[in-house]
C-alpha cells in the first residue's frame, strides 16, 4: 500500500478502486516500497552528479553518515537532489536523529528548486501531518506539481484523489490519465487501478483485453490484488486465455502473500482438484487461514466437517503454524 493510501485510510477517507465484488481488497501485507529517494535525475537536472551519486550510493549501501556528509556538501552548492536526500535521512532518522522539522525544511528547499522527489515527499508529510498540521489541499497541489514533472507515485496518488473527489473535483477521465502515466512508468498500483477502470468502462472506454493486459503487468510487478483478479480471470477464461493450472499457481502465490481472497480460492482449487491435484488437508488448511482473515465460505465449512479427524487435525496444525509464521514475519 502506498503512503497516500495509508494516510488517507488513517483520515477515514475511502481510497479503494472499485472492482468486481469479492475480488478486490486493500493489501495489508504488501512488501514495502524500495528505498527512497530513488537514484533518478532531478527535474531541474543536477549540476555535477558525481558527488550526488556518491551520496546516493552510500545511502543505498546503508552508509548513512557518509551519505549525509556528501549530500551536505552538494546541498551547500544548491543541488536539489542532495537537499531531498538530506530530507529523507532526517525523515527516517538514518545516521542522525529523526527530525521531521529538519526533514520538512530540506524537502521544502528541494521542492522550491523543482525536485520532483522533494515535492512528493513534502506532499506525504502534509497528508500524514508530520512537521505540522495535516493539509490535504496543499498535498494535492504538491502532488500535481510532482506529477507534471513525471513522478509516477505522485501521478498515481493524485489519480486516487481525482477518483474519489478529495480536494479536487471528481474526474474519472483525469484519474485515468494520471493512472496511465504512472502505469506506463511501471507503477504496479497504477496498472491495477487503470485495469479496473478499463474493466468497468469508468473514465475510459470499456476494454476487457486492455484491462487484463494491465492486470497481468501489475501482477508481474507484485500487486497482490491484481494477482487475485488476474488469477480469477485466467481460471474462468474471461478476457484472457483460460488456464486453470496457471491460475492455481497465482492463487498460491497471492495466498502466501496474505490475501484472504486468494487463500479462499486456493482452498476451493485444492478441494475440487482443478488446476492442481486435490488435497483435502491443504484445502482445509487454506480455508482456515482464509477464514481467520475474514474470508469465510459455507461450502468449505461443510467440506471440512466431512473430513476424517486426522485430516482436520493436520490442517489445523498447519494453519496455526502458517499464521504464526506469517504474523511474525510482518514488518
At 29-65, the pLDDT tens digits run 333 333 334 433 443 344 444 555 889 899 999 999 9
Q: Give the pTM.
A: 0.80
pLDDT of residue 166: 86
- Nearest CA-CA partner of 262 in 227, 234, 238: 227
State which residues of the chain have pLDDT below 70: 1-52, 331
pLDDT of residue 46: 40
CB 191 within 8 A of CB 178: no
User: How far apart are alpha carbons 229 and 249 in whole angstroms?
Assistant: 13
User: How far apart are alpha carbons 320 and 292 in whole angstroms?
Assistant: 10
Angle, CA of 188, 116 and 130, to the nearest 5°: 90
- Nearest CA-CA partner of 180 in 211, 135, 209, 224: 211
Grid-cell match 556528509, residue found: 69
pLDDT of residue 123: 96
pLDDT of residue 24: 31
| Grid cell of 291 as nine digits | 477464514
Q: Specify whether domain 33-185 bears CATH 1.25.40.10.
A: yes
User: How far apart are alpha carbons 200 and 298 in whole angstroms?
Assistant: 29
pLDDT of residue 51: 53
- Helices 116-128 and 152-164 cross at an angle (nearest 10°) of 40
Burial track 95-126 (b if 16+ CB lie within 10 A, e otherwise) = beeeebebbbbbbbbbbebbbbbbbbbbbbbb
H helices of 76-205, in order, are 80-92, 100-112, 116-128, 136-148, 152-164, 172-184, 188-200
Burial of 233 (0-12, 13-18, 19+ CB in 10 A): buried
SS3 of 51, please? helix
Q: How many CB atoms lie within 10 A of CB 248?
A: 21
Domain segments of the chain: what residues? 33-185, 244-329
CB 110 within 8 A of CB 95: no
Per-residue pLDDT tens over the stretch 185-194: 999 999 999 9
N-terminal to C-terminal alpha carbon distance within the chain = 13
Amino acid at each position: 500500500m502506498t503512503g497516500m493510501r495509508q494516510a488517507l485510510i488513517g483520515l477515514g477517507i475511502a481510497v479503494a478502486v472499485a472492482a468486481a465484488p469479492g475480488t478486490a481488497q486493500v493489501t495489508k501485507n504488501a512488501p514495502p516500497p524500495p528505498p527512497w529517494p530513488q537514484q533518478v535525475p532531478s527535474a531541474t537536472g543536477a549540476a555535477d552528479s558525481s558527488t550526488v551519486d556518491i551520496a546516493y550510493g552510500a545511502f543505498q549501501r546503508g552508509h548513512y553518515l557518509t551519505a549525509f556528509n556528501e549530500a551536505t556538501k552538494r546541498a551547500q552548492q544548491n543541488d536539489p537532489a542532495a537537499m531531498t536526500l538530506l530530507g529523507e535521512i532526517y525523515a527516517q532518522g538514518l545516521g542522525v536523529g529523526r527530525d521531521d522539522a529538519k526533514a520538512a525544511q530540506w524537502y521544502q528547499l528541494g521542492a522550491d528548486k523543482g525536485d520532483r522527489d522533494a515535492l512528493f515527499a513534502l506532499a506525504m508529510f502534509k497528508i500524514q501531518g508530520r512537521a505540522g498540521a495535516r493539509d490535504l489541499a496543499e498535498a494535492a497541489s504538491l502532488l500535481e506539481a510532482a506529477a507534471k514533472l513525471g513522478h509516477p507515485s505522485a501521478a498515481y496518488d493524485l489519480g486516487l484523489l481525482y477518483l474519489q473527489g478529495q480536494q479536487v473535483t471528481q474526474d474519472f477521465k483525469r484519474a485515468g490519465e494520471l493512472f496511465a502515466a504512472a502505469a506506463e512508468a511501471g507503477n504496479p498500483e497504477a496498472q491495477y487501478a487503470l485495469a479496473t477502470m478499463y474493466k468497468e468502462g469508468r473514465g475510459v472506454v470499456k476494454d476487457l483485453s486492455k484491462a487484463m493486459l494491465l492486470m497481468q503487468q501489475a501482477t508481474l510487478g507484485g500487486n497482490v490484488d491484481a494477482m487475485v483478479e488476474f488469477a480469477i480471470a485466467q481460471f474462468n477464461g474471461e478476457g484472457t486465455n483460460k488456464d486453470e493450472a496457471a491460475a492455481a499457481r497465482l492463487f498460491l502465490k497471492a495466498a502466501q502473500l496474505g490475501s484472504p481472497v486468494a487463500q479462499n480460492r486456493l482452498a476451493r482449487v485444492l478441494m475440487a482438484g482443478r488446476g492442481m491435484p486435490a488435497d483435502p488437508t491443504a484445502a482445509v488448511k487454506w480455508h482456515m487461514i482464509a477464514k481467520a482473515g475474514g474470508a469465510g465460505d459455507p461450502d468449505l465449512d461443510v467440506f471440512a466437517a466431512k473430513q476424517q479427524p486426522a485430516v482436520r487435525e493436520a490442517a489445523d496444525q498447519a494453519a496455526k503454524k502458517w499464521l504464526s509464521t506469517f504474523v511474525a514475519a510482518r514488518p
